[in-house]
A and B are shown apart, each in its own frame.
Chain A
């Protein structure tokens, strides 16, 4: 199968993630969309590694997984704290800071 299809798929996944961040209102969903974007980048790295014929892209994908896991820890800590304070994970509600 032509590997460039995977690049297309990764672009689609990345766009879905980016749109998700912009339109969804629940912090958890927004966060999941960000993770989708990171994984789209991973797919693209692995595919390009195949196309370029070297292993750099696959190594990058492993590092990204570790970083994404660390990001989940930090992100959930912040979101859970907000949720406990406000009983809601909506990103529209906390709006004390504006203008």
Chain B
């Protein structure tokens, strides 16, 4: 054992500035929650959140082209990390806008006035009546975003585990804070938490076995150990399998998807939109890094496993979505199916696969956050109209929102002239190039099945008579409008002129080792 002098790690503070900014603001935001007066709290928090996201985004853009490994090899800032940071920050900004909305619901905020109060109690009623809204969602939101940024840049398993928890723990709480249907919301928080903690235990145990195999927790170190040792042994394979289970849980791949529909349905739509878009990006970013950097040398061992999981994910997601009657639940199964498609890019294990996955994640993120923005606007007397039957005829009663939602559905289905088509084409092409033709054929079949339920919503909106109790589209404030406009613009623009983003993700290069 080396018991030498202590060498402080060299940290490139400029390169990791985005993480530090968001993390620092999150701490500041906790203090605001404690010390700023009740009325001033919300505006101060909003300025902090939006300001810090924009400043962090500026730092990401300003250091485009940086390729460095810092903090003693724990953090790596390379092309994919920067692209993912940019995507995460922009989508978090849109997510924050959805969460800040308070004109859609007649009683105000999206979140419970006081999450700790008993649903239906006098305590809760008084809080709501006086409009004393807690703003603890904002520090939680910022901590979660900082965890995501760390997660996609983590170059060793310890930091990855810590980042995974920093990202997830606040999300468990956010899922349980809906103002309406609080029992559903709390139930989803419990399920998300228990299953999330379960899966991170798998991740950690896998990491410990890999440490036992290689004597290090750093991803490049594991790759070195794999190439240095002639026999691989059970430690490596078992450790890798457990580690990947933990990551696949976060992306919602079958058979680790059970939490997805419940959480998507129960959580407030604003949180669902934010989480659906960003957690998927962060988790796939980490999965790609682990697979490409640490396990690139034994791709023949993990590819069959991911083949099976990808096919299961695509088909179970698409087929179960066909029979859903709740729109949020349907989109949850749709997100499961989309995970299966993105996994094609992971399985391709090539530079093309990586850039195609990045493009897919960005296209998916904007489409999803936009779709959930629409869901938060379509309302009935009891809150959001999530039952599909209430959406009948919506395209005729409110043509604009109907058309916008149709664009998102077409994009998720992968119809040409939307971002979804370019994205699907990219991952399919990358997978074929790597010789996974049969997998692509299965994916095409799955995406045809998936197209059914996306188109079913459009048919329902345009060609059905309005329901007895039709949903109405509430007029949103500027917040949701901006998020929705950004979502639909990106979806259409990436469908028509994808070239700039395609070049960007192609220039992102490969992971730095």
The residues of A with any CB-CB pair to B shorter than 8 Å are: 7, 10, 14, 17-18, 21, 27, 30-31, 34, 37-38, 40-42, 44-45, 47-49, 51-57, 59-60, 63-64, 67, 70-71, 74-75, 77-79, 81-82, 84-85, 91, 94-99
Contacts and interface: CB of A to CB of B under 8 A. Distances in A.
A97 B211 contact: no
B187 A64 contact: no
Contacts of B389: none
Contact of B211 (A48, A63, A75): A48
Given A41-B205, A84-B118, A94 B165 contact: no
A55 B3 CA distance: 10
B187 A94 contact: yes
Interface stretch (B189-197, B409-417, B432-440): B189-197
Given A84-B118, A97-B184, A60 B209 contact: no
Nearest to A48: B212
Given A75-B193, A78-B193, A7 B198 contact: no
B265 interface: yes
B194 A27 contact: yes
B194 A85 contact: no
Given A27-B194, A81-B115, 19 more contacts: A7-B212, A34-B194, A34-B201, A38-B201, A44-B208, A48-B215, A51-B212, A54-B1, A54-B215, A59-B158, A63-B162, A67-B162, A74-B169, A74-B193, A82-B186, A85-B182, A85-B186, A91-B194, A96-B266
B158 A78 contact: no
B245 to A, nearest CB: 11
Contacts, number: 134
A37 B205 contact: yes
Given A64-B161, A78-B193, A79-B190, A44 B209 contact: yes
Interface in B407-448: none
A21 B212 contact: no
A97 B261 contact: yes
A79 B209 CA distance: 31
B317 interface: no
A97 B262 contact: yes
Nearest to A17: B201
A79 B193 CA distance: 9
A97 B118 contact: no
Most B CB contacts (10 A, CB to CB) among A31, A70, A75, A96 go to: A96
Interface in B1-47: 1-2
24 contacts: A14-B205, A31-B197, A34-B194, A34-B197, A37-B204, A44-B208, A45-B208, A45-B211, A49-B211, A56-B158, A56-B211, A59-B158, A60-B158, A67-B161, A71-B165, A74-B193, A75-B197, A81-B189, A85-B118, A85-B119, A85-B186, A91-B194, A97-B191, A97-B261
